[in-house]
Amino acid sequence: MQTPTQQTLDWLARLVAHDTTSREPNLPLLEEIAAHARALGLMPLLLPAGGGGKGNLVVTVPDAAGGVRGGVLLSGHTDCVPVDGQAWASDPFTVTERDGRLYGRGTADMKGFVACCLAALPALLAEPLAEPVHLGLSHDEEVGCLGAPALAAALHAAGRSPRLGFVGEPTGMRMIRGHKSINVAHITLTGVAAHSSLTDRGVNAIEYGAEIVRYWRGVADRWRAEGPFDDAYPVPYASASVNLIDGGNAVNTVPERCRIALEFRALPGMDDAAHLAALVGFCRDVERRMRAENPAAAVTVEVTAQTVGLDIAPDAEVVRLGAALGLEPLADKVTYGTEAGVFTDAGIPCVVCGPGDIADAHRADESVELAQLAACEAFLGRLIGHLRVGGAS
Ligand SMILES: [Zn+2]
């Protein structure tokens, strides 16, 4: 079996040791990587994002002439999903090897890819490159790709503008050209509490919330029945669901509050903004009817995530480069969102390709196969060879 280098294993251990659950700061991890890059003679761009100890990091290996414009982006997010309530067989923040796999939070999603890229830095520096290579590390992907837009903007503002890129989410090192968008909305209905024997004095937030739930299910049913359809997806239409609800505080009290979280994942080409606007319009109508009962009632809609979909043409340059580097171009598209859509929207066309299996992500005992990391190293090695002055490019 192919095994990764000690450098990759060391980096993975260091990355996983940082608890970068999305609610935690990621700057300590980025600072550790930036210090390493500086020690290699590079000038990393550490880009703090407001407060909260969050940020993005760009590490550029210049071309042979010292240029940093254009070239290839290798992108990964540094945050992870929580381990709360999950039963792990070993400490999630200590990489543990069992049966040809490495266990730990983020091993698949997606510190394994980042570790491979960091381990490849010395090899990148050792070559005279025809084009620069940029390692872009973001924050808060798992909570709605919040860091990637600023990362893309910073790449352009710094005059680096990669011409294409690879986003290393776990795909089994297969090349993914398309995924859906993700939109998440949190809706809060504020009614008027009353003793449940005096329903006419209250405004029932749960009952009105149920109307929104039913409306959203209707949207989902319509997409499922009428499309649009794309059979490259395992779910070939836009999906919509209500996934969180809470409200009320006693069986004998008309509930003042109901909170709902819903999402939809649309096919590229659908008008996400219009569907969000229709949702907001429905909520306004609910609010109007609540206020007819009591003017104190209100409905608020907060869109907490809006990630664009990805739809890269089969003959796009990035696909041709991936194929030249031995990546299997898949016709299949994936239902999960990635930052590739964000970068592509920002003028940096990206495909998704990274070590591990998305099915191993987010769960207890998240893991990545050693062989997958080795395959990623081999891919990066071929990329370096391709970019070498006088190489295949
Ligand atoms: Zn991920």
Domain boundary among 271, 287, 307: 307
On whether both 281 and 374 belong to a single domain, the answer is no
On whether both 227 and 366 belong to a single domain, the answer is no
On whether both 202 and 333 belong to a single domain, the answer is no
Find the 354 Cα to ligand 1 centroid distance in Å: 10
Strands 72-77 and 178-179: unpaired
On whether both 169 and 201 belong to a single domain, the answer is no
Give the burial string for 260-286 (b: 16+ CB within 10 Å, else e): bbbbbbbbbebebeebbeebeebbeeb
Which of 79, 339, 366, 377 is labelled catalytic?
79
Residue type, 29: L
Which of 19, 63, 131, 141 is labelled catalytic?
141
In a domain, 341, yes or no: yes
In a domain, 280, yes or no: yes
Instruction: Report the phi/psi class of residue 121: left, alpha or beta, with left for phi > 0 and alpha for psi in -120 to 50.
Output: alpha
In a domain, 1, yes or no: no
Single pTM value for the model: 0.88
In a domain, 392, yes or no: no
On whether both 169 and 226 belong to a single domain, the answer is no
pLDDT (0 to 100) of residue 55: 97
On whether both 92 and 235 belong to a single domain, the answer is no
In a domain, 170, yes or no: yes
Residue 269's CATH number? 3.30.70.360
Query: Are the C-beta atoms of residues 171 and 322 closer than 8 Å to each other?
Result: no
Contacts of 4 (CB under 8 A, 6+ apart): 116, 119, 370, 373, 374, 376, 377
pLDDT (0 to 100) of residue 23: 93
Neighbours of 362 (CB within 10 A): 17
Find the 356 Cα to ligand 1 centroid distance in Å: 11
On whether both 20 and 146 belong to a single domain, the answer is yes
Per-residue pLDDT of the chain (393 residues; tens, 9 = 90+): 689 999 999 999 999 999 999 999 999 999 999 999 999 999 999 999 988 899 999 999 999 999 999 999 999 999 999 999 999 999 999 999 999 999 999 999 999 999 999 999 999 999 999 999 999 999 999 888 889 999 999 999 999 999 999 999 999 999 999 999 999 999 999 999 999 999 999 999 999 999 999 999 999 999 999 999 999 998 999 999 999 999 999 999 999 999 999 999 999 999 999 999 999 999 999 999 999 999 999 999 999 988 899 999 999 999 999 999 999 877 888 888 899 999 999 999 999 999 999 999 999 999 999 999 999 999 999 999 999 998 764
Query: Are the C-beta atoms of residues 17 and 76 closer than 8 Å to each other?
Result: no
pLDDT (0 to 100) of residue 392: 60
Range of the domain at 236: 181-307
Find the 80 Cα to ligand 1 centroid distance in Å: 7
Is 79 an annotated catalytic residue? yes
In a domain, 90, yes or no: yes
On whether both 174 and 205 belong to a single domain, the answer is no
Residue 146's CATH number? 3.40.630.10
On whether both 217 and 240 belong to a single domain, the answer is yes
Find the 142 Cα to ligand 1 centroid distance in Å: 7
Find the 255 Cα to ligand 1 centroid distance in Å: 38
By the CB criterion, residues less than 5 angstroms from ion ligand 1 are: 109-110, 169
In a domain, 327, yes or no: yes
pLDDT (0 to 100) of residue 240: 98
Query: Are the C-beta atoms of residues 393 and 386 closer than 8 Å to each other?
Result: yes
Find the 69 Cα to ligand 1 centroid distance in Å: 27
On whether both 334 and 372 belong to a single domain, the answer is yes
Domain boundary among 307, 332, 352: 307
On whether both 77 and 211 belong to a single domain, the answer is no
In a domain, 213, yes or no: yes
> Nearest 5 degrees, angle CA 199-CA 214-CA 181?
135
pLDDT (0 to 100) of residue 209: 98
Residue type, 90: S
Contacts of 123 (CB under 8 A, 6+ apart): 380, 381, 384
On whether both 160 and 244 belong to a single domain, the answer is no
Specify the 3-state DSSP secondary structure of 317: helix
* Cα dihedral 311, 142, 224, 217 in deg (nearest 10): -150
Specify the 3-state DSSP secondary structure of 251: coil
Domain boundary among 307, 340, 373: 307
Count the domains in the chain.
2
Is 285 an annotated catalytic residue? no
Query: Are the C-beta atoms of residues 10 and 121 closer than 8 Å to each other?
Result: no
Find the 100 Cα to ligand 1 centroid distance in Å: 22
